[in-house]
Structure 1
């Protein structure tokens, strides 16, 4: 995913009201930008450290700037814009980066599925293969040397696991794909200490046949892309 123009930079002052953040631009002025992240952003907020943002030319937007990246105190980079995860996954599948998801002819986004009325992030189809339902999750929580998902209790995420199990029961293929948008994360684990129900349900999903994959992203102000698989810990 290449960005044109490249993201601009500033420093974080604070995030508030969930979808807003104040930053200080390089010229010293302060502006409010949109924060496209619905999670708690635990361990992702570092005041006085560098951020990067994109700018929209849409005149209808109240806040033209969108927070994209955050630099940690030790120089790692975090993808703040969770909306990028699906596109990163799609591009990686089409490029053949995710070997486990190769061999399909068509890729569709946001297709209705499941008895709980969801939309699957990505659906892969081929005449000679069972359809493959892929739920994409952005992983950014790093504690110590371990990456975790989720960073807050997620009833929506629990619903998605149930629906993936439902697809397996129907004879389809179902995949939970963690897009790791934190350059310091080397492996992913269910955050049982944050959402034990999600962690337990993930164990059930694995036993039921849901495949769980994780791929790390390289992140910069010019381009982001998935580059390699990382371990999913039990």
Structure 2
């Protein structure tokens, strides 16, 4: 995915109220912008961090600038949670995720489960249906290791259980963890920060849900899926 316009470098002053951030542009001006990430963004909000912003001229937008990337220890990290579905679709169509590219149709945001919407529904007359849920990953506290989630997510655990229901109904259920950074060689579920999600993941895997971790190449010019990385899946004895 190429950015329509070059991203603008800035220095982060603060991120607050989940949706807002203050930053200093290269010319010294102080701006307030929109943060397209409602999560904790653990490890990515330190004042003084170098960040990269997209610019938008629409009269309907309250803020001209939107946070796209944070630079951490020399690594560019994408934080826009509006991009993972698009990037996951690119990875599927490029044949980077198993046999998913062989399905005849791909539909976004289809209703399913218990009053939910699946990120992608793949259908094929011979292969049947594959329900695909995508999660954005930007958390890393150990070199080379990406982790999810970075804070408790009840909604995420619900999605896992619904995918398990789809598998038991005779379909495929697939989790894609889309890592918006290129310094990770391994991925794992972050059990110490959200043990409920971790146990739900293990339980769901036992029900037949498939899981893939895809890393990306990230730069101020583009974010592009860069293939699968290994998944570390520890077992939980007390499930």
- Runs (4 or more) in structure 1 with deviation over 4 Å come to none
Deviation at 1:97, TM superposition (A): 2.5
Determine the structure 2 residue equivalent to 1:140. 138
| Residues 78-97 of structure 1: CA deviation (Å, up to 9, x unaligned) | 11101110100111212222
Determine the structure 2 residue equivalent to 1:67. 67
Q: Equivalent residues in 2 for 1:85-124 (5 A)?
A: 85-114=84-113, 116-124=114-122
The gaps in structure 1 that reach 5 residues or longer are none
SS of match in other structure, 1:164: helix
Q: Which moved more, 1:173-182 or 1:138-147?
A: 138-147
Q: Is this contact kept in 1: 2:91–2:227, CA < 8 A?
A: no
Determine the structure 2 residue equivalent to 1:221. 220
Instruction: Give me the whole-angstrom Cα distance separating, in 1, the residues matched to 2:99 and 2:134.
Output: 14
Deviation at 1:140, TM superposition (A): 0.9
1:82 matched to 2:81? The reply is: yes
Determine the structure 2 residue equivalent to 1:169. 168
Q: Which moved more, 1:37-46 or 1:128-137?
A: 37-46
Q: TM-score, normalised by structure 2?
A: 0.94
Deviation at 1:184, TM superposition (A): 2.4
Deviation at 1:185, TM superposition (A): 2.3
Deviation at 1:142, TM superposition (A): 0.5
1:26 matched to 2:26? The reply is: yes
What RMSD, in angstroms, separates the aligned Cα atoms of the two structures?
A: 1.1
Deviation at 1:186, TM superposition (A): 2.1
Aligned counterpart for 1:131 among listed residues 105, 108, 129:
129
Determine the structure 2 residue equivalent to 1:58. 58
Deviation at 1:102, TM superposition (A): 2.0
Instruction: Give me the whole-angstrom Cα distance separating, in 1, the residues matched to 2:227 and 2:213.
Output: 9
Q: Which moved more, 1:200-209 or 1:181-190?
A: 181-190
Q: TM-score, normalised by structure 1?
A: 0.96
| Residues 145-179 of structure 1: CA deviation (Å, up to 9, x unaligned) | 33211011101001100100000000000100000
Q: Is this contact kept in 2: 1:142–1:184, CA < 8 A?
A: no
Instruction: Give me the whole-angstrom Cα distance separating, in 1, the residues matched to 2:147 and 2:165.
Output: 25
Instruction: Give me the whole-angstrom Cα distance separating, in 2, the residues matched to 1:183 and 1:21.
Output: 24
Instruction: Give me the whole-angstrom Cα distance separating, in 2, the residues matched to 1:77 and 1:222.
Output: 11
Deviation at 1:138, TM superposition (A): 0.6
Deviation at 1:98, TM superposition (A): 2.2
Deviation at 1:188, TM superposition (A): 1.4
SS of match in other structure, 2:5: coil
